[in-house]
Amino acid sequence: MNNIIEIKNLHFSYKDESGNSSAEVLKGIDLNIKEGEFVAVLGHNGSGKSTLAKHINAILIPTEGKITVNGIDTADESKIFELRQCAGMVFQNPDNQIVSSVVEEDVAFALENLGVPYKEMRKRVDNALKAVNMYEYRLHSPSQLSGGQKQRIAIAGIIAMQPKCIILDEPTAMLDPQGRKEVMSTIKRMNREQGITIVLITHYMNEAAQCDRVVVMDKGNIVLDNTPKGVFSHVQELKDIGLDVPQVTELAWELKKAGYDIPDDIITEEECVMAIQKLFKQK
């Protein structure tokens, strides 16, 4: 499988009002993401994870190093339009991305700006709304929707662009548990059924545990990059940099510290239940 995102020696520093560079936020990041992967990026506030996400969509340009998305150099200003059709971005607050007073008009907004013919636009809007299970709300006002529904509309607007990759910067941070569940279900289905590459910036460990791969950042560096099981088995290391692990993982870790023979790579409730049942049988 080919890499859709290639990041080489990425350095970045923000500039102050005088144009002077501040301390480095990203410190030589190297990262490749393959087509069709579902990757979570974790890190505490200030780790650089959102800054990294904005580089993939060319909202920010490297101070040093290079990023290519589907072969497009993000620093090439003449290719920004093409790049953002390939890699769409969804932000924390869906209200910041909703621009119309009717759901289907909002999803069609970017397509209208692109000059997509009406028949094709109609097809894309309908398909995008169906993909996020919001077709029945197509004539509603976004103001009448819940936070989770609004975020799914924002995602539909990106899907309608038919991107190969979607970057989601903490898309569930402002949602209640039900809204988070709805959005995660949508993201997983897009990845599984449409093969869209997903880069999910999150601080929810249970969301990261549902991905194919987890990248952990700290102080502008990548400190772990593995499967969810591979990453969350490093409980103490994650705690040392201010991160949690899924609750079931921590429970298993505490049991293991207490001397019980239990796997250290548990990330789901089902795995935890089976391991504890096994302990009882051994008694």
* 3-state secondary structure (DSSP) of residue 181: helix
Of 203, 202, 205, 193, the closest CA to residue 132 belongs to 193
Model pTM score:
0.89
In sequence order, what are the residues at sequence separation of 6 or more whose Cβ sits closer than 8 angstroms to the Cβ of residue 122? none
Mean pLDDT by 10 residues, the chain (283 residues): 94 81 89 97 92 94 95 94 90 87 92 89 93 91 91 90 92 86 89 93 92 96 96 93 90 88 86 86 70
Answer for the pair 263, 271: CB distance below 8 angstroms, yes or no.
yes
pLDDT of residue 86: 92
C-alpha–C-alpha distance, residues 269 and 45, integer Å: 27
pLDDT of amino acid 183 = 86
Write the CA distances from 264 to 10, 208, 234, 241, 258, integer angstroms: 33, 17, 9, 19, 13
Phi and psi at residue 111, to the nearest 5°: -65, -40
H helices present in the chain, as ranges = 49-56, 80-86, 103-114, 118-131, 147-159, 177-194, 205-208, 228-232, 235-240, 247-257, 269-282
What are the sequence ranges of the domains in the chain? Answer: 3-245
Annotate 13-43 with DSSP letters as a single string: --B-TTS-B-S-SEEEEEEEEETT-EEEEE-
CA dist 28 and 65 (Å) reads 8
Q: What is the pLDDT of residue 133?
A: 87
Q: Is 175 helix (H, G, I), strand (E, B) or coil?
A: coil
- Tokens 């144009």 locate to 19
Contact present, 183 and 151 (Cβ < 8 Å): yes
Closest by CA to 35, choosing from 68, 11, 70, 84, is 70
- Rounded distance, CA 276 to CA 283, Å? 11
Look up residue 151 and give its amino acid: Q
Distance CA 213, CA 70 (A): 20
- Superfamily grouping for domain 3-245: P-loop containing nucleotide triphosphate hydrolases (3.40.50.300)
Q: How many CB atoms neighbour CB 180 within 10 A?
A: 21
Place of tokens 């949690």: 244
